[in-house]
């Protein structure tokens, strides 16, 4: 069964450093997303991406964040200068269509900023 894969599973970084979280969405999907889950809190939407551009973003997704689909398979989330409060589980997701179609989630990358 096709699945969304994310690497690494766990990343530790120092405050102020840049991190790139990587995702390989399901191959025929067209819509890509990043969500995050701070420990003990709800899953929050960060950004959605379609046709090589951001289609929606939340208030959380400020100038420190960027997304890219550098080739036909990868989808990345970059945090330019990490803060302690960026520590969270980051989930990548993809869907074939929008709105009435379920999103499939990866297993997540746990980011720890120290």
Partner 1 sequence: AQSVAQPEDQVNVAEGNPLTVKCTYSVSGNPYLFWYVQYPNRGLQFLLKYITGDNLVKGSYGFEAEFNKSQTSFHLKKPSALVSDSALYFCAVRDIKTGANNLFFGTGTRLTVIP
What is the DSSP secondary-structure string of 2-39?
---EEE-SEEEE-TT--EEEEEE--TT--EEEEEEE-T
Footprint (CB under 8 A) of partner 1, residues 17-56: 31, 33, 35, 41-45, 48, 55-56
Instruction: Report the residue number, 14 or 41, with the smaller CB distance to partner 1.
Output: 41
Residue 15 CB, nearest distance to partner 1 (Å)? 25
Instruction: Quote the distance between the C-alpha of residue 106 and its chain's center.
Output: 9
How is the chain split among helix, strand and coil, in percent rounded to 5? Answer: 5, 50, 45
Q: Is 4 in the site for partner 1 (CB under 8 A)?
A: yes
Q: Please answer whether residues 111 and 8 qualify as being in contact, where contact means their C-beta atoms are separated by less than 8 angstroms.
A: no
Instruction: Report the residue number, 65 or 91, with the smaller CB distance to partner 1.
Output: 91
The binding track of 53-72 with respect to partner 1, each residue x by CB under 8 A or -, is --xx-x--------------
Binding site for partner 1 (CB under 8 A): 4, 6, 31, 33, 35, 41-45, 48, 55-56, 58, 91, 93, 98-100, 102-108
């Amino acid at each position: 069964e096709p699945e969304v894969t994310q690497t690494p599973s766990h990343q530790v970084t120092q405050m102020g450093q840049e991190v790139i979280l990587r995702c390989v969405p399901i191959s025929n999907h067209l819509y890509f997303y990043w969500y995050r889950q701070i420990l003990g809190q709800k899953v929050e939407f960060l950004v959605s991406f379609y046709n090589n551009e951001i289609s929606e973003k939340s208030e959380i997704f400020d100038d420190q964040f960027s997304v890219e689909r550098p080739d036909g398979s990868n989808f990345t989330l970059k945090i330019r200068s990490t803060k302690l409060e960026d520590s969270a589980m980051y989930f990548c997701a993809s869907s074939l269509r929008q709105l009435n179609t379920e999103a499939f989630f990866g297993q997540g990358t746990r980011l720890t900023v120290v």
